[in-house]
Amino acid sequence: MVGRVRAPPRDTRTRCSRAPPRRGHARPCTGTLPGVLPRSGLIATLLFALLVVGGCSGPPAASFDPTGLCTVDGSAPGAYPDLEARIPRTFHDAAPETIDSGRNCSPAAMGSLTGAGIKELRFGGGTWSFGAERTLALAVFTAPGLDADLVGDFYATSADAAGRTTILSQTSPTIAGRHARRLDTKTGERLQSVVVWPSADPDIVNVVITNDLPEDRIQEAIAAFGTN
């Protein structure tokens, strides 16, 4: 980890500008909750290939200020250093290709979280790619009262509404002794998994999002968070 839940055509997903944003400005690609968009930075618009849709906007994105009241969705490297510090520094001996943080507050970005009384969601995350469409995002979300069920419900609701997506399974594993949620889906020939569980600290949820990665890599990604 955001606009709608339907995935855009492949060319739309890969035409977004890769240029790093100026500090205090969101990137040209916009979206909602963090997910994975291969080869694009910015966890705010790393949109899960099936669950959350970004897309590229024509004009430059609106100015994003990580301080004060939330008036626009956005993210930038270093926006919330404390959240970025929670992201594992390496996975399979590689540093994340992108790492940044931001916040969402628009109804389109918040989805079902708005109905649960969450007014603003802050997040930080990093992404890794392994060739083709194989991608990984490790992220953390935070908001007062946020828990794994709220985040799990957001992804499940989004997947259920996505016409091209088939939900393969929804399970409730235990991770580090805590209640977790897992969603496995298929869009076309691509398999995606989302695993969410509460951090050891209150109001923070750890998130693993994968696209076309085998089960052993998913478990390694979960383990990368350690006991946090």
- Identify the band that residue 223 occupies on the pLDDT scale cut at 50, 70 and 90: very high
42 pLDDT higher than 50: no
What's the rounded Cα separation, in Å, for the pair 50 and 67? 31
- When pLDDT is averaged across residues 142-168 and rounded to a whole number, the result is 90
Instruction: Enter the tokens of residue 10.
Output: 């492949």
State the average pLDDT for the chain: 77
Which pLDDT score is estimated for 33? 36
- Could you give the CA distance from residue 166 to residue 148 in angstroms, rounded to a whole number? 22
Interval 27-47 mean pLDDT: 36
Q: How far is CA 190 from CA 162, 164, 184, in A?
A: 14, 11, 11
Residue 4 lies in a domain: no
Could you tell me if residue 219 is inside a domain? yes
Which ranges of 71-214 would DSSP assign to H, the alpha helix? 81-84, 107-110, 112-115, 148-161
Is the pLDDT reported for residue 36 higher than 50?
no
φ and ψ at residue 5, rounded to 5 degrees = -95, -10
Residue 12 to residue 63: CA distance in whole angstroms: 23
**Burial label, 178 (beta-carbon count in 10 A; 0-12, 13-18, 19+):** middle
Does 214 reside within a domain? Answer: yes
- pLDDT higher than 70, residue 30: no
pLDDT at 58 over 50: no
Which tokens sit at 106?
A: 């628009």
Q: What is the pLDDT of residues 192-205, one digit of tens each?
A: 999 999 999 999 99
> What is the reported pLDDT for 188?
86
pLDDT in tens, 65-114: 899 899 988 888 999 999 999 999 999 999 999 899 999 998 888 889 99
Domain count, the chain: 1
Q: What is the pLDDT of residue 2?
A: 34
- What's the whole-number mean pLDDT along residues 112-127? 92
Helix or strand run (H / E) with residue 159: helix 148-161
DSSP per residue, 192-215: EEEEEEE-SSTTEEEEEEEES--H
3 is a domain residue: no
Cα separation of 188 and 118, whole Å?
32
Mean pLDDT within 167-183: 97
pLDDT of 161 reads: 79
User: Residue 149: which pLDDT band, with cuts at 50, 70 and 90?
Assistant: very high
For residue 87, what pLDDT is reported?
A: 95
Task: Express as a percent the part of the chain with pLDDT over 70.
Answer: 73
- Sign of the Cα pseudo-torsion (111, 140, 57, 78, in order): positive
Identify whether 149 is part of a domain: yes
Domain that holds residue 25: 10-223
| 87 assigned to some structural domain | yes
Please report which confidence band the pLDDT of residue 62 belongs to, taking 50, 70 and 90 as the band edges: low
Higher pLDDT, 31 or 179: 179
Determine whether 99 is exposed, middle or buried from the number of CB atoms within 10 Å of its CB (0-12, 13-18, 19+): buried
* DSSP structure string for 19-38: SPPPTTB--SB--SS----T
Residue 60 is given by DSSP the state P
Q: Identify whether 17 is part of a domain.
A: yes
Is the C-alpha dihedral spanning 81, 87, 93, 99 positive or negative?
negative
pTM equals 0.78
pLDDT score, position 158: 81
